[in-house]
A and B are shown apart, each in its own frame.
Chain A
Amino acid sequence: MEKVKKPKSIYYKFLGKTYIKSDSIVGIAFILPAVVLGAIFVIAPMVISLSYAFTDANLLRLDEVAWAGFGQFKRAFTDPYLWNAFKNTLEFVVKVVPLQLLAALGLALILNTKIKGNTFFRWAFFCPVMLSLAVTSFLWMNLLNPQEGLINAFLGAFGVSPQPFLESPKQAMNVIVFVSAWQGAGYQMLIFLSGLKNIPPELYEAAGVDGAGSATKFFRITLPSILPTFSFVLVTMLIGAFRLMTQPMIMTDGGPVDSTMTMSFYIYRQGIKYRDVAYSSAIALIYTVFMSVIALTLRKVTDVKD
């Protein structure tokens, strides 16, 4: 008697759920490159960095590492320059986020109207985003040159005395805030614009019939409609702001008088320039925990709003 072959099942069960095998294979094939790259360039460096934080690792001798316990963490909490960098980073975040958010929203609102040259303005506002941070930093350094810069020449035409800008401990961070907002607002503007485009025009028409003015329409229709977009932009902007490094690195080298030294730049400097990988890793770990708390809190707040 011929044996009946049992057909192979195209299904399989995993953690109580049923999946189609071929779909899973395709899915795994798609995510595999990302998983491998992520493991090599994100997970592995994080694990290695985490382990270095408890050692005395020096960049020049990573093959001779000794256990140092929590010594690097103790040092971090008593390092006045670290706290200065943290304070500067907070100052940057507090200043740049509202400025950039309002600039992006304002630009999006302007472009959402039927103004002449809309396409040109959209390109113009987005243009800084396409340039690298290094390029725009050098561009602004020339514009802000106290002696020959175009901005002081312009201010001079109105009788304003030449400003030191990046050479002043009081002005340097504000300049970096402005340049960062100028550079980044175009990207968030596009996100806001897509949110604005999704608002049904009938809502405005109905509100108009009911006698609502521009302000009422904005606060009662526009803002609530783009709230999810607003939350997304806010969270990504905050995280990006906490990671500030390129602009102070190129424009001021953390000065003058440490006024623009930020956390990311400080971590980089300790690890790469001073070769103190252990201390750099310890600070990075502390900062990662801090950032995670911020990101999770924001996510929670955002979820409630959604």
Chain B
Amino acid sequence: MPDVFAVDSPNITAYAAENVIIPIDEYITTEEKDSYVNSVITQSTYKNKLYALSGMDSPAGLYYNKEVLKQVGYTDADFGTIAAPWSWKDVEEAMDKIIAKNKELKQEGKKELPYKIKLNIGFGGDEGSMYLYSPLVYSAGGSFADANEKVTGSLNSEKSLAGISMLTEIFEQDATKSWVYRGSNVNAFPGGEVAFEIYGSWLIDAIDKDYRTFKDKYDIMPFPVYEDADGNKGEVKSPCGSWGFSVTEAAKDEYAAARVVAYFTGAESSRLMYESIGTFPTHKSLLADTDLFGSGAAKSLSDLLVNTSAPRPLLAKYPKVSDAYKEIINYVQTKAGKSDYNLEKYALEKAQGADSGK
């Protein structure tokens, strides 16, 4: 085994629980630790000890086409913010407004506006659902497991299901309104095929490089929050997390290995990675740099990362829980609106499946 290896943030807990990686607290100064955003420290901490550090993050939110929304009556003050977020119902309402406007435009023989949402549910294969859609559960006050890592009773709790059911309505109405984009164009949002997209920070980089004229026409608002029947909205929770580095139990010189981790993930490395591949830096000093994150979508997303990031569940059996959640989201996507749709029953089965075995 090497002295240092790369580890994806949701796997840190499992590796730590199995003693594959070792704590690095004593080799990292408090000042260094404090320079990272909270999400990095939270996702890298197991039993109050720090096991990893990351120089890159991938906050996600709701990309929206400002220009299109303004054409149906929205103003800058209407768009969702951390203090006054949009819920899924607000997104649905906006799509309906664009569809109504398109009817007028069609009658006038004018070009219709994009109205769909690109959800990216299958993004990244296995991990996409948990990475992008864990805020559904968090925003409604739900959770993925209890303190003893028992999934049954948490993932299928009333609150968790209420959060997940925000997607139910989208897919139920999709049959008649065709809200959801199902094409394969990775640049459907800047390409003008959709009005909304749930996605991570990479799209900012793609737009900066390949869709420069689109740069001022869009922004990012928080991931849509939960809203109950009385109109009460849930808390803003933003997807986040990326790969970091850990010191393995095989390291002969733990101090030297930990310093390598600190160097790989330090502010300088973090900035280089941001400039090279568009991953978000993980240092507060860099995110506060107005030259880099002073305005536009980059600022919106950095605000979300600093203030609302919600790491994926920290569980030793994370892969099972992630799979169970992916299958639940997949169930909603394929079964919502069908006569045999029973989210409660399916979520219970999947939660029990995640609890089976070790």
Q: Which residues of A contact B (CB under 8 A)?
A: 56, 58, 60-61, 75, 79-81, 142, 145-148, 164, 167-169, 253, 255-258, 269, 273-276, 279
**Assuming A147-B182, A168-B334, is B125 touching A253 (CB within 8 A)?**
yes
Interchain CA distance A147-B330 in the complex, whole Å? 18
Q: Is the CB of A145 within 8 A of B126?
A: no
Contact code string B106-139 (vs A, CB < 8 Å = 1, else 0): 0000000000000000000110000000000000
Q: Tell me the bound Cα distance from A164 to B335 in angstroms.
A: 12
Instruction: Determine whether B169 belongs to the interface, using a CB cutoff of 8 Å to chain A.
Output: no
Q: How far, in whole Å, are A260 and B185 apart by their CA atoms in the complex?
A: 26
> What's the least CB distance linking A126 to chain B, in Å?
29
Q: How distant is the Cα of A275 from the Cα of B349 in the complex, in angstroms?
A: 21
* B 198-216 binary contact with A (CB < 8 Å = 1; else 0): 0000000000000000000
B30, CB-defined interface residue at 8 Å: no
A148:B335 contact, CB within 8 angstroms: no
Indicate the size class of the contact surface on chain B: 20 to 34
Interface contact B182-A145, CB-CB below 8 Å: yes
Instruction: Kindly state the separation between the CA atoms of A167 and B335 in the bound complex, as whole angstroms.
Output: 10
Contact between A255 and B330 (Cβ–Cβ < 8 Å)? yes
Instruction: Report the separation of the CA atoms of residues A169 and B338 in the bound assembly, to the nearest whole angstrom.
Output: 12
What are 15 A-B pairs at a CB distance below 8 A? A56-B358, A61-B19, A75-B356, A75-B357, A145-B182, A167-B182, A253-B125, A253-B126, A253-B326, A255-B330, A255-B334, A256-B334, A258-B327, A274-B319, A274-B357
A81 pairs with B353, CB closer than 8 A: yes
SS class of chain B's interface: helix, strand, loop or mixed?
helix
Q: Which single residue of chain A is at the shortest CB-CB distance from B14?
A: A60
Docked Cα-Cα span, A253 to B126, in Å, equals: 8
A256, closest chain B residue (CB): B334
- CB pair B323–A273 under 8 Å, yes or no, is yes
Decide yes or no: A60 and B334 within 8 Å by CB, A147-B182, A148-B183, A275-B319 being known contacts. no
- What is the CA–CA distance of A109 and B317 in the complex, to the nearest angstrom? 54
Task: Please tell me if the beta carbons of B181 and A60 are within 8 angstroms of each other in the complex.
Answer: no
- In angstroms, Cα B183 to Cα A147, docked, is 5
Is A147 within 8 A of B181, CB to CB? yes
Do A257 and B319 touch across chains, with their CB atoms under 8 A apart?
Answer: no
Q: Check: B45 CB closer than 8 A to any chain A CB.
A: no
Q: Which residue of A lies closest to B180 (CB)?
A: A147
Inside 8 A of A258's CB, which chain B residues have their CB?
327
**Are B319 and A142 in contact (CB-based, < 8 A)?**
no
Whether A145 contacts B327 by the Cβ 8 Å rule is no
A250 to B204, alpha carbons, bound, how many Å?
A: 28
Chain B residues near A164: list those with CB within 8 A.
Answer: 334
B310-330 CB mask vs A (1 if < 8 Å, else 0) is 000000010110010011001
CA distance A255 to B327 in the complex (A): 7
Query: CB < 8 Å: which of A60, A142, A147, A273 contacts B126?
Result: A273
Q: Which of B6-27 contact A (CB under 8 A)?
A: 14-15, 18-20
> B290 on the interface (CB 8 Å rule)?
no
Q: CA of A276 to CA of B354 in the docked complex: distance in angstroms?
A: 12
